[in-house]
Chains A and B, each alone.
Chain A
């Protein structure tokens, strides 16, 4: 699976929770990402694979099962890495790159349509507003994870215990609620 977004969106924490959930089921897990210069507001892609035995941490383009897009433009940028009958879960959020903010380029206005045109199954989730309703905008990543979890075959208990391990103690309850909300939205779209 691939997770794409903008540096600073909490992609590394999200991929950490997914990896941990898979590990809790006794599966082999590998995940890869790049730190450093790209973190400063640039495009970020994390790859994650789990199964009985995983060799490469990287995924051949066009063969990923699922793409988790934290931002629409980044989801579209990475969409072709997903297999033709794969799934794209996309957070309904737009973050303008500096090239757009400075007027050098235009942010595409038809990304929803472009994503559907790739032929992959698209699940859209308004994670920001769901998190906002729960009173914790920082739980956006976990809302998205809930939607992802509804599409995967890992046990819910593994997810919940991974979340408890990796989010700050005082934020556990709100994050568990965020996960549940995300799960419900994802489930409806099957």
Chain B
């Protein structure tokens, strides 16, 4: 068969195709986003959608399974928290009529996330099997296996990826696709109505299913035992297996492709084959606790393998040798950092500049605009989780009173607002808040790569659809003041923000302007600095635009980076920043 270079995410999409999956759903989230993008780009036979959030994504996939169709739902680790409600019900309901795989892409080291929760724990918590591939080949193969297991054992299957699997590329040998299931629907209340009386019966099924899965795991092809040196052996899973092979090629290994449930006989066979047992796993002592429960205690485990952050070959080597953890590689310390920044021409800048000047308080949310918290804008105070800005603002108001609320704004992007901010808005209005909300509508789910969303009027499959009118929605919820502004116009934006804070009831200001990266053809010529007029006051630097810097006490605009948005020109008291055409 043909060999191709695929990322773990692209390989999962290919696996979905080979497994006969016909419905795939997701909400974008790093490091999982490219799975659905790859499905949409390469496999037109699969219906795919950006759902409004992970909970809805899983519910759509469950519906497909009810209809006899194999389905996949992909999300980042914290997305499974949002989808936990349908997921836990699904664990009881099962997936006998159409196999279901839930892809959880975890982010050890929090490269692009707010926490580093280890979603293998969801397997134990919901009593469903967890598969963990170690490279792209396995990411594809395990997706096919997940569907087989799901249908055979009547259970959803978690396919747990990590950033190093999702975003690493390696060689994949493709397989032949199987025929998809035939879509049918038969009413089956005893399998699908999770009422207490029925759930109590399902509960028994769940325990029996686990026993069968354990039995299957004893000699399944996903768990691979390799005996080399009998002096010591390592139980491991995922990409960590490759780190171990890299630094200690002589050690025997048991690689658990199905990391939950753990097969005790196989584990004992391995521990009996080697003198010393080590467990090397990233993040939580998940395998270790399972083994402890069986009365097996490793010679080396989480006492030496760090529990924090992503592992790599040098950390694994140090742990096995008993040396101090080289937690960060050696780097020169005396050079400037390069933190991520809002892009030149970013429409959020105009809003954050105003909030900064107003000395406003802002509860923030999750997206590119979280970067508005960094200097020089320093315009956001909090960030908790998707949609939290509204609830946080109301809580502050209830705790500190209406006066505090006057200069307090909840700031959220349009995609995040649709994901889980709408309920927060309804709650503010219902509970008689005076909350001021800013929706940053940049016509894309930008941070994850500009996916369309309900406010853009386009679907993942490229079809036009109803475009959600955010202003109408805010009015329908009961907002007393609603304004739409162009954030490139600093004065009008400021005026709307002040009116919002003065007006009674919940106010909503919608900042409307497409992300600069999706309208490159609309960029204006780079601006220039009139060196005679510039007095070096540095006020323009307060905008935080990467295209602006100072050289010899005069502002300089980078011609390649500048998008001509004109925000800095509005800030300059000397009117020294000019359009090029004026020359």
Contact A57 B163 (CB under 8 A): no
Band of interface residues on A? 35 or more
Report which of B163, B239, B331, B339 forms a contact with A56, defined as CB distance below 8 A: B239
Contact B329 A56 (CB under 8 A): no
User: Known contacts A36-B112, A58-B164, A102-B375; is A42 also within 8 Å of B339 by CB?
Assistant: yes
Stretch touching chain B among A23-31, A151-159, A169-177? A23-31
Chain B 116-171 interface residues, beta-carbon cutoff 8 Å to A: 135, 163-164, 167-171
Contact B376 A28 (CB under 8 A): no
Contact A99 B337 (CB under 8 A): yes
The residue in chain B whose Cβ has the minimal distance to the Cβ of A48 is B169
Contact B329 A55 (CB under 8 A): no
Question: Using an 8 Å CB-CB cutoff, how does the interface string of A20-57 with B read, 1 for contact, 0 for none?
Answer: 10010000111111111111111100000000001111
Report if B30 contacts A (CB, 8 A).
yes
Report which of A37, A42, A60, A61 forms a contact with B338, defined as CB distance below 8 A: A42
Chain A 39-94 interface residues, beta-carbon cutoff 8 Å to B: 39-43, 54-62, 73-74, 76-81
Contact B135 A30 (CB under 8 A): yes
Stretch touching chain B among A104-112, A119-127, A141-149, A178-186? A104-112
CB distance from A180 to the nearest CB of B (A): 24
Question: Using an 8 Å CB-CB cutoff, how does the interface string of B9-41 with A read, 1 for contact, 0 for none?
Answer: 000000000000000000000110100000000
Contact A99 B338 (CB under 8 A): yes
Report if B462 contacts A (CB, 8 A).
no
Most buried by A among B331, B449, B546: B546
Contact B332 A56 (CB under 8 A): no
Report if A10 contacts B (CB, 8 A).
no
Neighbouring B residues of A13 by C-beta, 8 Å = none
Contact B170 A57 (CB under 8 A): yes
Q: A62-B330, A81-B329 are in contact. List 13 more A-B contacts (CB 8 A).
A: A31-B169, A31-B170, A32-B164, A36-B448, A38-B112, A40-B342, A43-B338, A57-B135, A73-B335, A98-B544, A99-B337, A100-B549, A102-B541
Report which of A43, A97, A103 forms a contact with B550, defined as CB distance below 8 A: A103
The residue in chain A whose Cβ has the minimal distance to the Cβ of B548 is A101
Band of interface residues on B? 35 or more
Which B residues lie at the A interface, using CB under 8 A? 3, 5, 30-31, 33, 111-112, 135, 163-164, 167-171, 239, 242-243, 245-247, 312-314, 317, 326, 329-332, 335-343, 368, 370-371, 375-376, 447-449, 538, 541, 544, 546, 548-550
The residue in chain B whose Cβ has the minimal distance to the Cβ of A47 is B168
Report which of A37, A77, A102 forms a contact with B335, defined as CB distance below 8 A: A77
Which A residues lie at the B interface, using CB under 8 A? 6-7, 16, 19-20, 23, 28-43, 54-62, 73-74, 76-81, 96-108, 114
User: Known contacts A6-B338, A36-B31; is A29 also within 8 Å of B5 by CB?
Assistant: yes
Neighbouring A residues of B30 by C-beta, 8 Å = 35-37
Could you tell me the distance between the alpha carbons of A92 and B486 in the complex, rounded to whole angstroms?
39
Contact B169 A19 (CB under 8 A): yes
Report which of B337, B343, B541 forms a contact with A101, defined as CB distance below 8 A: B541
User: Known contacts A23-B171, A40-B341, A56-B242; is A99 also within 8 Å of B5 by CB?
Assistant: no
Could you tell me the distance between the alpha carbons of A20 and B6 in the complex, rounded to whole angstroms?
10
Report which of A57, A61, A78, A106 forms a contact with B336, defined as CB distance below 8 A: A106
Could you tell me the distance between the alpha carbons of A42 and B33 in the complex, rounded to whole angstroms?
20
Could you tell me the distance between the alpha carbons of A154 and B447 in the complex, rounded to whole angstroms?
36
User: Known contacts A77-B335, A100-B549; is A20 also within 8 Å of B341 by CB?
Assistant: no
The residue in chain B whose Cβ has the minimal distance to the Cβ of A71 is B338
Instruction: Report 25 cross-chain contacts, Cβ distance below 8 Å, ordered by A residue.
Output: A16-B169, A23-B171, A29-B170, A29-B171, A30-B169, A31-B169, A32-B167, A32-B169, A34-B112, A34-B163, A35-B30, A35-B167, A36-B448, A37-B371, A40-B343, A42-B340, A56-B246, A56-B313, A73-B335, A77-B331, A77-B335, A96-B549, A102-B375, A102-B541, A104-B375
Contact A37 B447 (CB under 8 A): yes
Contact A58 B313 (CB under 8 A): yes
Neighbouring B residues of A96 by C-beta, 8 Å = 549
Neighbouring B residues of A30 by C-beta, 8 Å = 135, 168-170
Contact A57 B338 (CB under 8 A): no
CB distance from B80 to the nearest CB of A (A): 18
Neighbouring B residues of A98 by C-beta, 8 Å = 338-339, 341, 544, 546
User: Known contacts A34-B112, A35-B31; is A76 also within 8 Å of B335 by CB?
Assistant: yes
Contact B171 A28 (CB under 8 A): yes
Contact B5 A19 (CB under 8 A): yes
User: Known contacts A31-B169, A37-B340, A101-B546; is A61 also within 8 Å of B329 by CB?
Assistant: yes
Neighbouring B residues of A32 by C-beta, 8 Å = 164, 167-169
Most buried by B among A23, A32, A59, A107: A32
Report which of B245, B332, B375 forms a contact with A76, defined as CB distance below 8 A: B332
Contact A99 B336 (CB under 8 A): yes
Neighbouring B residues of A78 by C-beta, 8 Å = 331
Neighbouring A residues of B242 by C-beta, 8 Å = 55-57
Neighbouring A residues of B167 by C-beta, 8 Å = 32-35
Contact B317 A60 (CB under 8 A): yes
Contact A57 B335 (CB under 8 A): no
Could you tell me the distance between the alpha carbons of A37 and B109 in the complex, rounded to whole angstroms?
13
The residue in chain A whose Cβ has the minimal distance to the Cβ of B368 is A40
The residue in chain B whose Cβ has the minimal distance to the Cβ of A33 is B167
Contact B111 A34 (CB under 8 A): yes
Could you tell me the distance between the alpha carbons of A76 and B171 in the complex, rounded to whole angstroms?
31
Could you tell me the distance between the alpha carbons of A109 and B305 in the complex, rounded to whole angstroms?
41
Contact B338 A23 (CB under 8 A): no
Most buried by B among A77, A81, A102: A102
Neighbouring A residues of B339 by C-beta, 8 Å = 42, 97-99
CB distance from B437 to the nearest CB of A (A): 24
CB distance from B150 to the nearest CB of A (A): 29
Could you tell me the distance between the alpha carbons of A32 and B31 in the complex, rounded to whole angstroms?
12
The residue in chain B whose Cβ has the minimal distance to the Cβ of A40 is B340
User: Known contacts A29-B171, A41-B340, A41-B343; is A103 also within 8 Å of B246 by CB?
Assistant: no
Could you tell me the distance between the alpha carbons of A120 and B371 in the complex, rounded to whole angstroms?
36
Neighbouring A residues of B163 by C-beta, 8 Å = 34
Could you tell me the distance between the alpha carbons of A104 and B542 in the complex, rounded to whole angstroms?
12
Neighbouring A residues of B370 by C-beta, 8 Å = 37
Could you tell me the distance between the alpha carbons of A97 and B341 in the complex, rounded to whole angstroms?
9
Contact B329 A37 (CB under 8 A): no
User: Known contacts A58-B164, A81-B329; is A20 also within 8 Å of B5 by CB?
Assistant: yes
